[in-house]
Amino acid sequence: MRGPRVAALAIVSAALALASVYATTSGPTGAATLRPGTGAPVAKSVHARATGRVSTMPGEGVQPVGPAGNWQLVFDDHFLGTTLNTRNWSTCYNWTCTNGGNNELEWYSASQVTMHNGTVALTVIPDESHGKQYLSGMLSSYGKFSFTYGYAQIVAKLPVGQGLWSSFWTLPANGTWPPEIDVLENWAQSRNVSFYIHYDSANQFDAASVYLPTASSAFHTYGLDWEPGSLTWYIDGFRWAHYNVSITEAQYLLVTLAVNGKLPPDSTVQFPQSLEIRSVDVWQHPNL
């Protein structure tokens, strides 16, 4: 699961180094890049994009901060209170508490998932456990929530430091791989936010990246509009990438803060570091 991404990691890392303020794309389908403003941002997101903040974003949890249309909320967690809602989330993968296929250095533990003041923090620290050098936190809706088509959105602030790997992504509810949809990925030594879609048995993939200098200093909304035959990515209500790829398998949600074994943390990383999440929501069209 997610292991074949390792083969593409060097290619993707090189692409990130070339990323600019505009999205860049790669992959076999050669989908066109979308520059900021070429989509149809909703009016409520304009202030957020200008200021780099979404702390008072209207519509959060009511309608998607992105594509207009008729939407019905089918999953939401705004992390109120002090205890994680275990009806929504588990704090390990369904197969284990790390991802060995990616040469990752973390062991996921419920102790690293904490809630405070309307956010949940996935926190990584140096601490050996189960043969791994770091303890970190993750969320998985496997066996609790899955969906086919819809708009998945996270409001998050990303950590800072080499080797820290933040992701909001989906996997098939039936346990197979691929496909995999990466709504958000960030290697924390970079100010680029990336999007991926892995599909077909040969692990074809498409990818795009966006330079977002405030990803670690402010909350932003990251969303994916998954429709029959297409996927479209948004940041703060603005469309950044679109691919005509057909994904039909029901997907579940994951939010992970991994540690990259190929480029591990160095002495400049100040621990603890956290991926802070204010909300995760999924909407669907009522006729689905």
Dihedral sign for Cα 118, 124, 127, 129, please. Answer: positive
What DSSP assignment string belongs to 77-139?
E---SSS--TTT-BSS-SS-SS-GGGTB-EEE-GGGEEEETTEEEEEEEEEEETTEEEEE-EE
d(CA 147, CA 86): 18
Based on the residue annotation, tell me whether 180 is a catalytic residue of this protein.
Answer: yes
Query: What is the domain-level CATH number for residue 275?
Result: 2.60.120.200
Q: For residue 8, what is the enclosing H or E element?
A: helix 5-17
Q: Is 90 exceeded by the pLDDT of residue 158? A: yes
Which residues have C-beta within 8 Å of that of residue 259, sequence separation ≥ 6?
A: 104, 105, 106, 124, 133, 134, 136, 163, 164, 165, 265
Residue 60 annotated as catalytic: no
Inter-residue contact 183 to 193 (CB < 8 Å): no
User: How many separate domains does the chain show?
Assistant: 1
Which helix (H) or strand (E) covers residue 195, if one does?
Answer: strand 192-199
Average pLDDT over residues 127-131: 97
In this prediction the pTM is: 0.83
pLDDT recorded at residue 22: 40
Sorted by sequence, the CB contacts under 8 Å of residue 172 that are 6+ apart come out as 178, 179, 249, 250, 251, 252
User: Strands 238-243, 138-140: parallel, antiparallel or unpaired by DSSP?
Assistant: unpaired
224 touches 19 (CB < 8 A): no
Each residue of 251-285: pLDDT tens digit?
999 999 999 999 999 999 999 999 999 999 999 99
Q: Which of 60, 104, 106, 180 is catalytic?
A: 180
Reported as type and span, the H/E element at residue 26 is: strand 24-26
52 three-class SS:
coil
Query: Do residues 23 and 39 make contact, with C-beta atoms less than 8 angstroms apart?
Result: no
The pLDDT assigned to 200 comes to 87
Average pLDDT over residues 98-117: 95
Choice between 230 and 55, residue whose per-residue pLDDT is larger: 230
The Cα–Cα gap between 194 and 25 comes to: 10
- The answer, yes or no, to whether residue 107 has pLDDT greater than 70, is yes
Domain that holds residue 213: 5-284
Contact 144, 97 (CB under 8 A): no
- Compute the distance between CA of residue 95 and CA of residue 218 in angstroms, rounded to an integer: 33
Amino acid at 118: G
Annotated catalytic residue: which of 185, 227, 249, 276?
A: 185
Task: Give the model confidence (pLDDT) of 8-31 as tens digits.
Answer: 332 233 333 333 334 444 544 433
